[in-house]
Amino acid sequence: MSEQGFSHQQWLERGDWEMALQQWVDSHPAQATGLCLASVLREETPPEQHAVLDEITRCFQKHDNALRWRIFNRFSLEGFGSPVGALALALFWSEGSLAPEGVDPVYPDPALVPQMLHTTMLLLAAQLNDSPVEGTRALLNRCLAWEAMSK
């Protein structure tokens, strides 16, 4: 089997946790990945983050441009360097213009959304365990459980 055909589990067996996460992102729709990550993050973050994660979930489920901008503006101040901030940026790039209303629309490169979802997963895996491989394994197991419950 070529390396391109490896599953996320095979990448993990090789110790390549970053490719395992990339394979997950590449093989799942951005909306599903965003919803899954919001769900996992809700379990891993303090309660004060739950409201914004609920908003991110709502926005991934049904586009709401005003809410999308509110989330973006919040993290413009707080920063995008946390898993929740990275997910907020992926959401912002996922649908709609980068320009505010009243200005000619400017759309992001479609490759940015999966890149930021991958970044969100990297940050979250590192948060879940000191070992990136074990953090990735834990994250992907939770994503598989979320996927099974969502069907």
The model's pLDDT over 34-45, given as tens digits with 9 standing for 90+, comes to 999 999 999 999
pLDDT at 7: 83
pTM comes to: 0.93
pLDDT at 41: 98
Q: Judge residue 102's burial from the number of C-beta atoms within 10 Å of its C-beta, 0-12 exposed, 13-18 middle, 19 or more buried.
A: exposed
Calculate mean pLDDT across residues 19-39.
96
pLDDT-derived band at 3 (thresholds 50, 70, 90) equals: low
pLDDT at 5: 67
